[in-house]
């Protein structure tokens, strides 16, 4: 005890040393409190990421990919051995009725002259059955003669000329009509019911990414097909503006807004979980996550409208599949996302 009193009288004579001891003691206390806080986490922190329910806008957009296609296309096939004159090249623009290929027609012309003479003789004889027979023969010979001159059935562009190969002696010539252009895409079967003929949207052409092109849906396919693990339906939209820079075959993306809502209660789509009776979220109540049934309205890729079951300001788990011990077990999120009405 005497030693303690003696030490205190000595310490009072050295105030600077007393200050050092006070600072060191306070620092130790603060460090102890900090470590104590770090070693114990609150129950809400152990639940994983959370989000506060808020209001905002939701836009549901159907997005599908495909390519630019022409209004119509026709491929002519003809024997290479009969080509007399090829009058066009790939890339040429032609008008309706313009001659594309002239085939040798010597035999066809001979057949036509013979059929014409036989018809005249039949008419001179005056036998109706014979006249009818010779008329049919003449019409057939005339059609064969005319088919030796291949003409463009519509104005368009020559896109391909294929010569004969070892497998076939035929040539082919492809003509496309670019007076109107379309975007043909494959739409997931779950999105098709929300589309209808006449809906407007936009097309983004990969080769021309700095501009969007207005489109209108003109055709929805009548059957679904399996493609790449998905079931899709062909949908065609007309480009309402044409431009020489848009080429047939360009890759394109179709975007059609099918539903929207403003200033509605919404949650991230990842917060939804499926139950046997509908949809739910994991709501944080007293530092615990409990299943809260909700009614879902419009959905987008990021957001889901909540029509009932939650209030603005409620706290829910952002991804219920990652909840930790001490919470109500959350069902697994099913294939796909909820679809609006």
What was the pLDDT predicted at 57?
A: 96
Question: Which residue in 41, 151, 169, 30 sits closest to 102, CA to CA?
Answer: 151
What are 154-176's pLDDT values in tens digits? Answer: 999 999 999 988 888 899 999 99
Determine the average pLDDT of the residues in 209-216.
95
Burial 174-194 (b: 16+ CB within 10 A, else e): bbbbbeebbbbbbbeeebbeb
Query: Could you tell me the pLDDT band of residue 251, with boundaries at 50, 70 and 90?
Result: very high
Give yes or no for residue 11 having a pLDDT over 60.
no
What was the pLDDT predicted at 107?
A: 95
- Tell me whether strands 99-103 and 149-151 are parallel, antiparallel or unpaired: antiparallel
Q: Fold for domain 63-68+178-260?
A: Elongation Factor Tu (Ef-tu); domain 3 (2.40.30)
Give yes or no for residue 22 having a pLDDT over 60.
no
C-alpha–C-alpha distance, residues 256 and 218, integer Å:
13
Single pTM value for the model: 0.67
């Amino acid at each position: 005890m005497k030693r303690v009193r003696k030490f205190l009288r000595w310490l009072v004579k050295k105030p600077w040393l007393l200050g050092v001891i006070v600072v060191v003691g306070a620092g130790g206390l603060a460090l102890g409190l900090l470590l104590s806080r770090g070693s114990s986490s609150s129950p809400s922190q152990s639940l994983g990421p959370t989000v506060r329910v808020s209001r905002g806008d939701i836009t549901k957009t159907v997005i599908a990919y495909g390519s630019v296609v022409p209004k119509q296309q026709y491929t002519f096939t003809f024997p290479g051995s009969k080509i007399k004159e090829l009058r066009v090249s790939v890339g040429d623009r032609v008008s309706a009725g313009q001659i594309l290929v002239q085939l040798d027609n010597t035999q066809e012309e001979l057949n036509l002259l013979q059929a014409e003479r036989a018809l005249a003789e039949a008419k001179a004889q005056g036998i109706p059955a014979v006249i009818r027979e010779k008329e049919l023969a003449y019409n057939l010979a005339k059609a064969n003669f005319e088919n030796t001159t291949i003409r463009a059935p519509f104005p368009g562009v020559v896109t391909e000329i294929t010569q004969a190969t070892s497998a076939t002696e035929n040539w082919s010539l492809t003509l496309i009509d670019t007076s109107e252009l379309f975007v043909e895409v494959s739409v997931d079967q779950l999105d098709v019911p929300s589309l209808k003929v006449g809906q407007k949207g936009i097309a983004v052409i990969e080769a021309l990414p700095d501009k969007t092109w207005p489109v209108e849906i003109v055709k929805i396919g009548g059957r679904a097909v399996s493609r790449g693990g998905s079931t899709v339906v062909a949908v065609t939209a007309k480009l309402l503006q044409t431009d020489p820079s848009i080429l047939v075959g360009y890759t394109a993306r179709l975007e059609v807004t099918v539903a929207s809502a403003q200033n509605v209660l919404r949650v991230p789509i990842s917060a939804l979980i499926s139950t046997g009776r509908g949809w739910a979220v994991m709501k944080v109540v007293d530092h615990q996550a409990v299943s809260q049934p909700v009614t879902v309205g419009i959905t987008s890729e990021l957001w889901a409208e909540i029509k009932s079951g939650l209030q603005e300001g409620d706290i829910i788990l952002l991804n219920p599949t990652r909840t930790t011990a001490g919470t109500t077990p959350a069902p697994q999120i099913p294939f796909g996302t909820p679809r609006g009405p």
